[in-house]
Chain A
Amino acid sequence: MAGVTLDTVRKIYAGNVEAVKGVSLAIDDGSFCVLVGPSGCGKSTLLRMIAGLETISDGSVKIGDRVVNQIEPADRDIAMVFQNYALYPHMTVYDNMAYGLRNRGTPKDEIEKRVKEAARILAIEPFLARKPRQLSGGQRQRVAMGRAIVRKPQVFLFDEPLSNLDAKLRVQMRVEIKRLQKALGVTSIYVTHDQVEAMTLSDKLVVMSGGQIEQVGSPAEVYRRPETRFVATFIGSPPMNILPGTVEGPGRVSVGGQSIAVTDIREGLTPGTAVEVGLRPEDVQAGAAGASSLAMDVDFVEELGATQLFHGKVAGADFVVQASTGQIAADIRKLTLSVDPANVHLFDPQTTKRLGRV
């Protein structure tokens, strides 16, 4: 087993397009690291550089203690699972899994042992003689994972492996991947644009945007204390509400003339400084007007079953409140929201960085 260390890794494509702008990251041995971000944020490029499918323009990638910049993908001791599975269509499931081992000259009985073992773990034993086209999407994905497992690699790389599956299967496979990773204890790097996948799978969550890392942390940390406005609105569903506001004094901000208390606020901000106030839809409650409350005009309600989403405006900006069904009358037009000072996030409108305690 081995960890992965990235040191100011850059990818510059022809025409001076910088897809990855100096990323440094240390991934511990045995941990599950998820790279998440919108399309074109460089997360896949980064993964492909670790895999050796893209050259590294600058910086270094280390797997264990070994710098792998100049090492062929096959010799990096990694295994990769692709979004479209990339199974060899003309080979049986068994041959698909055995191919890599055969190319490395693994003895026949050892190959058979490993393939059988992987097939058992993934419950694909009945399909070993079939061709990929005779399998369903979920089964193909298992075969793709089997192909990774038999290699006994130092690192698993996953490139959006669940994107081609339907919603139900995706949830099921997500749990399986997590369980498998825990059982095998192999360092894993997983790329996704789906923040639910990112939150549920990761030990270490890396949020990327525009070729750079926005924040690294445990899922809870990233959710509870987003470092930038981008992270705040990207992680969490429905996304965090952002309201324009100004600093009133120590521990208080004003949103459209309504004053609310804030726990996590940078000291020494001069009153009148413009800030962006972030509130998660699930962090505000309907309540009586008090020392820290906001008035909201409700436009319509979305029913989600267990919860309801109230869409409307606070201080002229769009605002969403999530509440358990029945907690708030569905036909309400005016809503008073009470805000827990600990749940208010402040961001600098210019730098979009968090204005929290240092």
Chain B
Amino acid sequence: MVENRPFAQFMAYLTLAIGVVVVAFPVYLAIMASTFDTATIINGNMPLTPGNQAAENYTRALFYGGKLAREPVSMMMVNSMIMALGIAFGKILISIISAYAVVYFKFPFRKTAFWVIFITLMLPVEVRIYPTYKIVADLGLLDTYTGLIMPLIASATGTLLFRQFFMTVPDELLEASKIDGAGAFRFFKDTLLPLSMTTIAALFVIQFIYGWNQYLWPLLITTKSSMQTIVIGIKKMITTTDALTEWQIAMTTAVLAMVPPVLVVIFMQRLFVKGLVETEK
């Protein structure tokens, strides 16, 4: 808009503000709730300003856990972190290698290979959960990190993303590398990998959050409380049958669960933008 229309501008800002409030208020509420004791939250008159129980709630959650779910949240976070990082890095590794093969090598059934990978897009974990569970159980991988991570690594999104990127890399770069005496591995390591950094960063953010927020799969294959992830932990804290729900601990855990994904986004975004500005092929 070139002309200056104060009313239109005001409306635009108002809409934006309402949107932000709608999204941010529950988060704010959770943060506030993590600073009171149980009684204040339960009686329904929780103030919207911070209370004085923050230090106690966070130490208790992090190092002792709730009354019923006895595991400390720090341990759950370690589990979640291992799973999220495992999934993110595993996926990047698998998909960049498979995309490299599909784009740069001519082999029989190359197209078929690509389509087989592509079709798995239609089969997310939830759809293939029973056979996957069966396989993982038969391999004796229940209650292990491998069992948590491996089935979630296999998916097509990353392969497609890298394939699309590789297709935009000019053929002449490959040819120049050939003349410069770089074989398939050197071209990958010296040229393709550095050029892919932005794509890798993007995929890392998406996959880390995807891994961190997994609920169904960890719920199915972890039985030991020492293998529990933070998302499962929150759920366990809320569903109590006999005792009073410790809302302040649940909220504290929820806030803690938000921290790593937020940090990843904030930190990686800088790399993103840097990459976007600098990349020129």
Task: Report whether B186 and A103 are in contact in the complex, using a CB–CB cutoff of 8 Å.
Answer: yes
In the complex, how many angstroms separate the beta carbon of A78 from the nearest chain B beta carbon? 7
- Please determine whether A89 and B281 come into contact, CB atoms closer than 8 angstroms: yes
Residue of A nearest to B197 (CB): A90
Contact (Cβ within 8 A) A100 B181: yes
Assuming the A-B contacts A84-B172, A103-B186, A133-B280, are A90 and B179 also in contact, with contact meaning beta carbons closer than 8 angstroms in the complex? no
**Set B172, B178, B281: member contacting A74, Cβ < 8 A:** B178
The SS class assigned to the B binding surface is helix
Interface assignment of A346: CB less than 8 Å from any CB of chain B: no
The reply to whether A90 and B194 form a contact with Cβ atoms under 8 Å apart is yes
Please tell me if B69 contacts chain A, counting CB pairs below 8 Å.
no
A150 CB → nearest B CB, Å: 10
User: Closest Cβ of chain B: how far from A338's Cβ, in Å?
Assistant: 51
| Residue contact A53 to B182, C-beta cutoff 8 Å | no
Query: Of the candidates A52, A53, A83, A103, which one forms a contact with B180 in the assembled complex, judged by CB atoms under 8 Å apart?
Result: A103
Chain B residues closer than 8 Å to A75, beta-carbon distance: 181
Could you say which residues of chain B place their CB within 8 Å of the CB of A86? 170, 172-173, 175-176
Interface flag for B195 (CB, 8 Å): yes
User: Which residue of chain A has its CB nearest to the CB of B186?
Assistant: A103
What does the 1/0 interface line of A100-129 toward B look like (CB < 8 Å)?
A: 100110000000000000000000000000
Asked if B168 is an interface residue, CB under 8 A from chain A, the answer is no
Of residues 10 to 63 in B, which have CB atoms within 8 Å of A's CB atoms? none
With a CB–CB cut-off of 8 A, which chain B residues contact A133?
278, 280
B179 with A78: CB separation less than 8 A = yes
Mask of B186-217 contacts with A, CB within 8 angstroms, 1/0: 10001100110000000000000000000000
A-chain residues with CB within 8 Å of residue B178 when the two chains form the complex? 52-53, 72-74
| B279 sits at the interface (CB 8 A) | yes
Closest 3 pairs between A and B when the two form their complex, measured CB to CB: A100-B180, A74-B181, A86-B172
- If A73-B179, A103-B182 are given as contacts, then 8 extra A-B residue pairs at C-beta distance below 8 Å, sorted by A number, are A53-B179, A73-B175, A82-B176, A89-B279, A90-B191, A99-B180, A100-B180, A133-B280
In the assembled complex, 17 residue pairs joining A and B whose CB atoms fall closer than 8 Å, in A order, are A72-B178, A73-B178, A74-B179, A74-B180, A74-B181, A80-B176, A80-B179, A82-B172, A88-B190, A90-B194, A90-B195, A99-B182, A99-B190, A100-B179, A100-B180, A103-B182, A133-B278
- A residues engaging B (CB < 8 A)? 51-53, 72-75, 78-80, 82-84, 86-90, 99-100, 103-104, 132-133, 147
